[in-house]
Structure 1
Amino acid sequence: MNLFEFFATIERYHTIQNPTSEEKLDLAIRYCGIRDGMRILDVGCGKGWLMRRIASQFDVQVTGLEIHRTFANEARRLVAAENLANRIEIVEGPALEFHPEPACFDVVMCIGASFALNGFESALDWMSQAAKRGGAIALGEVFAMGLPYPPEVSLGSRASTDYPDRTLWATVETMCAHGMPLRGLVEASTDDWHRYHSLHWQAGMDWALENPGNPDAALLNDRDGMRRAIELDGRYMGWAIFVARNGLD
């Protein structure tokens, strides 16, 4: 099972592919100050819940970037089903191969997908170039709630890269240093994390039942991964949507 197949399987029950909720995403939309006539870019749009929500409420033009074919196809299907094709375009492929004209978007979002732009600080640089001066930047990102992480939990190379040593305030300071002063913050709760991970666990268990004896079942039902999710996420590692203005001191 390759990485794309893994995520298509483990997130097959997700409509929102981050540890947040409809109510919190609606709050992030309000913080962005979206109005009719705006151009919006959503990097790593997944199945497209957020951009469909925005396009259903405002007369806007939204471009969604998504490398995962399964998610891009699902986003297109849902866009068509909701009669939003005249407002939303899905661009399939690596985000870094999309080259927008400088300062051409009113709002640039990257909700839980900074890896598509080579990580947190690289994402800030890329997004700042795509957004207009004074436009909105919305970045969904992990941060450390408590340091150090428990050594018995944060084991292995994957854990060391997944869990940052950057706190909530350090994240805000870094964004300010990139000319992105904060105008809104929407933080995930422990319950948001549990909802997010519970859908992973359900998908993994159901897939194993549907594919008895398949060795990939162990990957989808990793007990160490479940332990890290329960003991770290929402307790030591947080996640939030940081909404900022672009290009301001």
Structure 2
Amino acid sequence: MNLFEFYATIERYHTIQNPTSEEKLDLAMHYCGVRDGMRILDVGCGKGWLLRRLAKQFDIQATGLEINPAFAAEARHLTAAENLTDRIHIVEGPAIEFHPEPASFDVVMCIGASFALGGFEPALDWMSRAAKHGGAIALGEVFAIELPYPPEVPRGARANTDYPDRSLWTTVQTMRAHGMPLRGLIEASIDDWHRYHSLHWHAAIDWALENPGHPDAAVLSDPAGMRRNLELDGRYMGWAIFVARNGLD
């Protein structure tokens, strides 16, 4: 099972593929000031839930970038099923290889996929170039709740790139240094994390039952992964959607 297949398997039941909720994503889009006539770019759009939700509410032109073939196919299928193909275009492939015209989008989003653009700060630079001056940036990103990480964090976790050495405030300040003053913040709760991971566990169990004896079943049900979910995510590492204006001091 390659990485694409792994995520397609454990996120088979996800509609929203991050530790957040419909209400919180709606609030983020309110902070972005989405309205009719806008051009919107979503980096790492997954199954396209957020773009489809926006396209049902507003007369927009939206582009979604997605590298996972299974997610891109589902996004295209659902877009067509909901008669939104005139408003949403799904581009399959590495986001870093997509070259938008500079300052061509009113809203540029990357909700939990900065890795697709080389990491947190490279993503800020890429998104800033794609967004109009004064346009909206929405970035879903992890941050450290407590620094330094406490001793009970399992050995090696501090070196894991999933566990950043940026506090919430440092994340906001870094965005400001890139010309992106914060306009709104929506933080994931413990319940958001548990809802997100519960769907992973559900999918892993179902896949193992459907594929008895498969060697990948052990990977999907590894208790070390669940321990990390329960002891670290949402307790020592947070996640939030940061909404900012682009190109402002």
TM interval, short-chain normalised: over 0.9
Tell me which residue corresponds to 1:99.
99
Partner of 2:32: 32
RMSD of aligned alpha carbons: 1.2
Matches within 5 A, 1:46-65: 46-65=46-65
> Do the aligned residues in 1 keep the contact of 2:132 with 2:246 (CA within 8 Å)?
yes
Q: Does 2:15 match 1:2?
A: no
Write the deviation string for residues 196-223 of structure 1: whole angstroms up to 9, x where unpaired.
0000001111111111111101111111
Task: Give the corresponding residue for 1:192.
Answer: 192
1:54 alignment partner AA: L
**Secondary structure at the residue paired with 2:63?**
strand
Assess if the C-alpha contact under 8 Å between 2:19 and 2:239 holds in 1. Answer: yes
Contact 2:179 2:246 in 1 (8 A): yes
The one-letter amino acid of 1:117's match is: L
Alpha-carbon distance, 1:146 to partner: 1.2
User: 1:163 — aligned with what?
Assistant: 163
1:243 aligns to 2:246 (yes or no): no
| Sequence identity percentage | 82
SS in 2 for 1:162: coil
Question: Which ranges in structure 1 are unaligned for 5 or more consecutive residues?
Answer: none
Which residue of structure 1 lines up, in the alignment, with residue 230 of structure 2? Answer: 230
TM-score by length of 2: 0.98
Q: Which amino acid aligns with 1:104?
A: S
CA distance in 2, matches of 1:127, 1:232: 29
Q: Which runs of 4+ in 1 moved over 6 A?
A: none
Letter in 2 for 1:74: E
Q: Secondary structure at the match of 2:18?
A: coil
Distance of aligned partners of 1:5 and 1:77 in 2 relative to their CA distance in 1, 3 Å threshold: same
Q: Does residue 20 of structure 1 match 2:17? A: no
User: Structure 1 residues 30, 146: CA separation in 2 closer, same or farther (over 3 Å shift)?
Assistant: same
Rounded to whole Å, the distance in 2 between the matches of 1:164 and 1:210 is 36
Distance 1:62 1:158 in 2: 37
